[in-house]
Amino acid sequence: MNDKALRTLEYDKIITSLCSLAGTTHGRELCSKLKPLSELKEIQKLQRQTTDALSRLLRRGSVSFGGIHDIRPSIMRLKVGSSLTAAELLHISSDLEATLRLKAYGGYTGKDGEEQTEDSLTEYFAGLEPLSPLNNEIRRCIISEEEIADDASPALKSVRRAIKNANDKIHSELSSILNSSRTLLQDNIITMRNGRYCLPVRAEYKSQFQGMIHDQSSTGSTLFIEPIAIVRLNNELRELAIREQEEIEKVLADLSNQAAEHCESLEYNFTTLSELDFIFARANLSRQMKGSEPIFNKNGIINIKKGRHPLIDQKKVVPIDIMLGKDFSMLIITGPNTGGKTVTLKTVGLLTLMGQAGLHIPAFDGSQLAVFEEVYADIGDEQSIEQSLSTFSSHMTNIVKILEQADRNSLVLFDELGAGTDPTEGAALAMSILSHLHRRQIRTMATTHYSELKIYALSTEGVSNASCEFDVETLRPTYRLLIGIPGKSNAFAISSKLGLPDYIIEDAKKRIGEQDKSFEDLISDLEASRITIEKEQDEISKYKQEIEQLKKSLAKKTESLEASRERLLKEAKEQAAQILQEAKEFADQSIRRYNKWLQEGGSIKDMENERGILRERISSSQGSTKKDNSKKGKTPSVKSLKVGDSVNVISLGLKGTVSTLPNAKGDLYVQMGILRSLVNIKDIELIEEEDIIAPGYSKTQSGKIKMSKSASIHPDINLIGKTVDEALSDLDKYLDDAYLAHLPQVTVIHGRGTGALKNAIHAHLKKLSYVKSFRLGAFGEGDQGVTIVEFK
């Protein structure tokens, strides 16, 4: 594509937005170099990648490319046998951690445990090599860029132990000197000068204090002297420091040798991560501008449905429908100034460039774009004072170049073709230029005010008129593009609304030729008929929508009434059966007591008391059936209850999550924090989950997302029998889902074993920002075999 068209259509601003969405330096480089392509297969490949990445973002959530460093210079040094610094090795480790994170994201399985179908990105994720042993070794040995761990090697540990012992001896000796020479010292402190321990001695006592002078204060009143008694110890300490540095270099050399064995994998990982960053940046741009994948063809057909200019505020831009190349190969757009003609040209040109660069376009699904080898645009005022070119001359210079270079595989866009000179000559030139392009079957769009070009479009096969709608009553454009209808400039109507005297307007109308006047009247009649038809169609569409809504509402009410009737009948039967059972049991008990009293000769008074209890029991049962059940919470039915539902346990006054479905008796387990209790279904109430507004997300009409992760997230995860890498990958995904499900805490089951899995899990939990705390299980929770994790 020619650079002039890219600048004119503001393609560079799209690339700037794309670069801001990339997370890595190399990813931003790839974004900045993105240019429109002309090979259909390559375009479709990029579009498929963008679509698959967007699908993963919507299904799985955002993915972070943070912490990825450009390690290519380090890899080059490894290939020639050089040792890397601690900072370089930590950068490699950071890239490997990002690789592990991305591989886990790419291998995501659905809620039912089924692996997601393969797409164009599966190969990228599958090829990533986390190299966990190398990463773990680097993390074990290097604490930070300035600190190497004591356990990095036995020799280093030994040297540092010797350094500690030497320091202890020096401090012990210096403390003894401090106590014995207080009068000679300026302060009772131990200080360092030139890497050696010294004492601050008063200048007047320097002859009485044996040792080596290393420094003095700015006033000269204090000398920093190394006591003669610790010179040997200080020398030993310096030697140990040199040995420590040697051991550190050996550790770094060993880690570098291990990394050198995986140069190809490290290089592949970095390249793949950068490519994925580039792809997901395109997907994020699509999500940001609510774009869709266009359908490409090589037949020169453009059919953009509700297309929006991506650089105009989404709340203000008016979507337009644009067609070109099927029934007509040339479109001439007319209408008043500021009506949206130029924006229409730029929208078609920019969306074509974006689509051919593998970017989604802000338009409805099913929009079609043609593959063009070149896009030419002559838009805007390009007057050049330096080159002594007028507006007309600069436009004509441009047009000459376009006519020389354009062919059947080009898209040509003209804004105000023929303007800036005598209207008669300008119209004739414009008509000749358009005729030349039309004969060569070059897809062309042009804007104009010339009536001659409107007539040319009406009288020429394969050329169509279009207009930008204008509301004369409000003097405002609607920015709607109407294909097939020529537009009016509305100069007389606008002037009249703005207060120009009627006699001047009438005089102006008389000066228009009869042919021009008839043509303008015809356009006005067509416009009036179109508005009337559109209003009638809108009314019919509204009536259809109302009828459809009434039908749905009636069906919903009928279904609700039927469900309520079945529920009430079922509850009544269950309650009646329960009352009968209780009555039978109480009656049997009462009969047994009466028989016992008759046999034992019981008193009349006891029998009357029993009858009184019976009457109270009957009255209580009758009263309970009359109580208003509306005061109770919503008791769930066995069928409607699901694992993960939020409930309130009435008897305990606690909120929890359903862990198991009810058994035949209606008993089920509910997890309430760390307490897991067996309760009856009658003792629980369902808690309605809140709807959470998702900013910037309008996938549904209401713009709300139901956060129901808890319907499938179990309060514990079993990692026993898995390797550390497998366990951490599964744990990471599980904790993300549990946190999104608003679970207050979860249980991680890792078993006792050797403790390696437990230690790895605890180390991983320390790095997670959303984990508030974690601890080993207490008695009854699983003891040392589980870890309880609490979220923020």
pLDDT higher than 80, residue 369 = yes
Overall average pLDDT of the 26-43 stretch: 94
User: CA 704 → CA 48, 364, 599, 694, distances in Å?
Assistant: 28, 21, 73, 6
Write the CB contacts of 302 (distance below 8 Å, at least 6 apart in sequence).
Answer: 322, 323, 324, 325, 348, 352, 368, 369, 370, 443
Distance of CA 281 to the CA centre of its chain: 10
Handedness of CA 526, 528, 532, 534 (dihedral sign): positive
> In whole numbers, what is the pLDDT of the chain averaged over residues?
82
Two tokens, residue 240: 């140990």
Confidence at residue 696, expressed as pLDDT on a 0 to 100 scale = 40
Structure tokens at 27: 């990813």
CA distance 366 to 351: 14
DSSP string, 31-56: HHT------HHHHHHHHHHHHHHHHH
Give residue 694's identity as a one-letter amino acid code: A
The beta-strand segments (E) located in 217-272 are 222-227
Look-up of token digits 């808690």: 687
Q: Is 318 exposed, middle or buried (0-12, 13-18, 19+ CB in 10 A)?
A: middle
> Average pLDDT of 124-143?
93
Question: Which range has the worst mean pLDDT, 46-55, 252-261, 530-539, 690-699?
Answer: 690-699
Summarised one tens digit per residue, pLDDT across range 42-100 is 999 999 999 999 999 998 888 889 899 999 999 999 999 999 999 999 999 999 999 99
Q: Looking at the chain, how many residues does it have?
A: 792
Whose tokens are 């028989």? That residue is 595
**Residue 490: per-residue pLDDT:** 60
Q: What is the mean pLDDT of residues 737-742?
A: 82
- Is residue 702 over pLDDT 50? no
Greater pLDDT, 99 or 393? 99
42 in Cβ contact with 49 (< 8 Å): no
How many angstroms separate the CA atoms of 432 and 414, rounded?
14
Matching residue, tokens 């699509």: 286
Closest-CA residue to 659 (of 675, 680, 677, 643): 643
Instruction: Return d(Cα 724, Cα 759) in angstroms, integer.
Output: 10
Tell me the average pLDDT across 247-259. 94
Of the candidate ranges 320-324, 499-503, 758-762, the one whose mean pLDDT is the lowest? 499-503
**First-residue to last-residue Cα distance in the chain:** 52
Q: Considering only 203-212, 380-389, 608-617, which range has the smallest mean pLDDT?
A: 380-389
- pLDDT on residue 50: 95
Q: What is the mean pLDDT of residues 137-155?
A: 92
CA 128 to centroid of chain Cα atoms: 22
In the predicted model, what is the mean pLDDT of residues 350-379? 94
CA atoms of 49 and 293, how far apart (whole Å): 10
CB-CB neighbours of 568 under 10 Å:
10
- What confidence tier does 34 reach under pLDDT thresholds 50, 70, 90? very high
What is the C-alpha to C-alpha distance for residues 469 and 479, in angstroms, rounded to an integer? 6
With H, G, I as helix, E, B as strand and everything else as coil, classify residue 370: strand
Q: Is 435 a residue whose pLDDT tops 50? A: yes
- Give the model's pLDDT for residue 182: 78
pLDDT of residue 538: 80
402 falls in which pLDDT band (50, 70, 90)? very high
Comparing C-alpha atoms, which of 580, 449, 469 is closest to residue 526?
469
Residues 227, 229, 235, 241, Cα dihedral to 10°: -80
Average pLDDT of the segment spanning 508-528? 58
CA–CA separation, 359 and 37 (whole Å):
11
Higher pLDDT, 597 or 116: 597
Assess contact for 297 and 371: CB atoms under 8 A: yes
Q: What token pair was written down for 710? A: 């808890």
pLDDT of residue 626: 45
**Helix pair angle (724-740, 86-106), 10° resolution:** 60
Task: Return all residues near 573 (Cβ < 8 A) that are at least 6 apart.
Answer: none
Residue 517 sits at φ, ψ, to 5 deg, of -65, -40
Under 8 Å between Cβ of 248 and 83: no
Task: Please write down the long-range contacts of 174-183, taking CB distance under 8 Å and 24 or more positions apart.
Answer: 174/199, 174/227, 174/230, 177/227, 177/229, 181/209
Q: Taking a C-beta distance cutoff of 8 angstroms, is the pair 761, 730 a contact?
A: no
- DSSP line for 155-220: HHHHHHHHHHHHHHHHHHHHHHHHHH-GGGBSSS--EEETTEEEEEEEGGGGGGS-EEEEEE-TTS
Per-residue pLDDT at 109 exceeds 50: no
DSSP characters over 721-782: T--HHHHHHHHHHHHHHHHHTT-SEEEEE--STTSHHHHHHHHHHHT-TTEEEEEE--TTTT
What b-and-e string marks burial along 233-248, b requiring 16 or more CB atoms within 10 Å of the CB? bbebbeebeebbeebb
- SS3 (DSSP) at 375: strand
Whether the pLDDT of residue 542 is over 80: the answer is: yes
In angstroms, rounded to a whole number, what is the distance separating the alpha carbons of residues 239 and 246?
A: 11
User: Closest Cα to residue 194, out of 212, 172, 210, 209?
Assistant: 212
Nearest CA to 441 out of 299, 322, 344 is that of 299
**Nearest CA among 694, 699, 704, 754 for reference residue 724:** 754
Using one digit for the tens of pLDDT, what is the confidence trace for 471-488? 666 666 667 788 877 766
Cβ-proximal residues to 636 (8 Å cutoff; 6+ apart), any chain: 645, 647, 681, 684, 685, 686
Q: Tell me the pLDDT tens digit for each residue of 710-734.
A: 456 788 888 888 888 888 888 888 8
Indicate the burial class of 232 (C-beta count within 10 angstroms; 0-12, 13-18, 19 or more): exposed
* pLDDT given for residue 707 in this prediction: 45
With pLDDT > 70 as the criterion, what percentage of the chain qualifies?
A: 84
Residue 537: what pLDDT? 79
CA distances from 121 to 125, 270, 274 (A): 7, 16, 13
Q: How far is CA 560 from the centre of its chain?
A: 38
Distance, CA of 745 to CA of 727 (rounded, Å) = 19
Rounded CA-CA distance 144/152 in Å is: 13
* DSSP conformational letter for 261: T
Is residue 488 a contact partner of residue 496, using CB atoms and an 8 Å limit? no
The pLDDT, as a whole number, for residue 753 is: 81
Radius of gyration of the chain (CA): 41
DSSP summary character for residue 512: S
At 342, which amino acid appears? T
pLDDT band, residue 388 (cuts 50/70/90): very low
> How many whole angstroms separate alpha carbon 435 and alpha carbon 414?
14
